[in-house]
Amino acid sequence: MEIRVIHFELQKGNISKSCIIEEIVKMEKKIFPKHESLASSFYEELRKKNCGLLYSPLTVNGKEEGVAGYVLYSWPSSLFASITKIAVRESCRRQGHGKALIEAAIERCRRRKIKRVCLHVDPLRTPALSLYQKLGFKIDKIIHSYYSLQRDAYRMYLDFDD
């Protein structure tokens, strides 16, 4: 599965990256409820020096036709990183895109010598929870009302051995 890195620079003429980011923003709006979506602040997130964006291209008959999925992550310090957002287009789910994106983000964090990667997941999203556990993430604790008053989250982590 091919994973691509987006190094975001605010330059004129960077049309292909801009189109990809616009498609990601549209996916963000479609997949997540408004209060969970980063669509309105996506460009601001990408401007941060400690932020990474990876995407999996959607290919049809060997031709790139857009974005199958993406992962946004950040590393506030050398001690830990956080997977802020992961999303896969509904028609592309259960094909390995999510796993490849998470593995790529983990590998990039590993290369930065980060000690721990954290993420949050709704306990009711069993496919996502199962994937994270298969990749070695452990549940740290439940955070009540994380997504909304009635929606909790598991805080999960993956520690790297030195």
| Residue-range domain boundaries for the chain | 4-159
Mean pLDDT of 118-145: 96
Q: What is the pLDDT of residue 74?
A: 94
More confident residue, 158 or 5: 158
Q: What is the pLDDT of residue 78?
A: 83
pTM to 2 decimals?
0.87
Exposure on the CB side of residue 29, measured as CA atoms within 13 A: 10
Burial class, 94, CB count within 10 angstroms (exposed 0-12 / middle 13-18 / buried 19+): exposed
* Percent of the chain whose predicted confidence (pLDDT) is above 70: 93
Amino acid letter, residue 59: T
More confident residue, 7 or 61: 61
Q: In the predicted model, is pLDDT for residue 86 greater than 90?
A: yes
User: pLDDT tier at 8 (50, 70, 90 boundaries)?
Assistant: low
Q: Quick one: fold of 4-159?
A: Aminopeptidase (3.40.630)
Distance, in Å, from the CA atom of 13 to the CA atom of 9, rounded to the nearest integer, reads 11
Q: What is the pLDDT of residue 43?
A: 83
Size (the chain), residues: 162
Nearest to 148 by CA among 40, 36, 42: 36
Q: Per residue in 47-86, is it b (16+ CB within 10 Å) or e — as a string?
A: eeeebbbbbbbbeeeeeeebbbbbbbbbbeeeebbbbbbb
Nearest to 81 by CA among 72, 89, 90: 72
Look over the chain and give the mean of its residue pLDDT values, rounded to a whole number. Answer: 88
